[in-house]
Structure 1
Amino acid sequence: MPPRVSDVMTGAPQALPLEATLYEAARVMRDEGIGDVLVTFAGRLCGVVTDRDIVVRAVAESRDTALTPLGDVCTAELTTVRPEDDTDTAARLMCEQAVRRLPVVDGDKRPVGIVTIGDLAVANGEVGPLPEISKSPPNN
């Protein structure tokens, strides 16, 4: 039986409210060594913004990152998993949706974690470079 998502996810994901700015999200990403921040409204997940979103949807469009709210550039159409889902389900969803990370939410859609393709590779003991790369510290 495959492990559950709760066994491999990163708990307490970084999240900011919808009205926070891109500048704030970029600082969190830098300070935490991560590439994404979950976006919430009233504590519930409503989007995700990645470092690439900031570059492509904001900087390349000459938006002011200190004034642009996350809601203007975040991805709102999300695929999520629950902590009790198994890792095979998470891997299947990642393949189907062509994503590298999935927010983990509770029954009220509150974010409780994030699971990445690297987390799944390490958990499933896959061979090849991905598990080793995934265990390495971030390249800051």
Structure 2
Amino acid sequence: MAEKVRELMTPHPVTLAPDASLAAAAKQMRAKDIGDVLVVGGDGRLRGIVTDRDIIVRVLAEERDVSSTTIGEICSPDLAVIGPDDDSDQAVQMMRQRAVRRIPVVDRGELVGVLSLGDMAIERDPRSALADISVAHENI
């Protein structure tokens, strides 16, 4: 039987407002050793997700102004979300269909976590290369 999403997700994901700077997002990613921040509006509504890859592809590669571009401008707004009581197999299927590595976890409209491929790898196959990478300390 598949685990529930709540058993695998990372609770209390890092969130920033849409008008936050790219630097603020990058600093949070570095400080928390994560690859994404969730974009949440003043109304508490999930607006999108920004990944480290988004910053590279949507800002640097397009030669956008790093100092004036906000995370709200580059976030992926069309998010797949999943509930904490959904089966992890459903999350895997959703990730495959949407070609994403992370899915926000929402309970009754409230953001409660984020589920990543790394989270699932650690639980499902702790000896896999992906699990090793997911728990490894950063290389500095």
TM-score by length of 1: 0.89
Alignment-derived partner of residue 104 in structure 1: 105
Shift of 1:59: 2.1
Alignment-derived partner of residue 117 in structure 1: 117
Alignment-derived partner of residue 27 in structure 1: 27
Query: Which range is displaced more, 126-135 or 68-77?
Result: 126-135
In structure 1, stretches of 5+ residues that fail to align are none
In structure 2, stretches of 5+ residues that fail to align are none
Alignment-derived partner of residue 138 in structure 1: 138
Query: Which range is displaced more, 121-130 or 18-27?
Result: 121-130
Alignment-derived partner of residue 73 in structure 1: 74
- Tell me the secondary structure at the aligned position of residue 89 of structure 1: helix
Distance in 2 of aligned mates of 1:103 and 1:21: 21
Shift of 1:127: 5.8
TM-score by length of 2: 0.89
Deviations 1:64-115 (A, max 9, x none): 333212111110011111111111111111111111111111211x321111
Shift of 1:32: 1.2
Letter in 1 for 2:79: L
Distance in 2 of aligned mates of 1:2 and 1:57: 36
The share of aligned pairs that are identical, in percent, is 44
Distance in 1 of aligned mates of 2:125 and 2:61: 39
Query: What CA RMSD, in Å, does the superposition of the two structures yield over aligned residues?
Result: 1.6
Query: Which range is displaced more, 52-61 or 85-94?
Result: 52-61
Q: How many pairs align?
A: 139
- Tell me the secondary structure at the aligned position of residue 61 of structure 2: helix
- Tell me the secondary structure at the aligned position of residue 121 of structure 2: helix
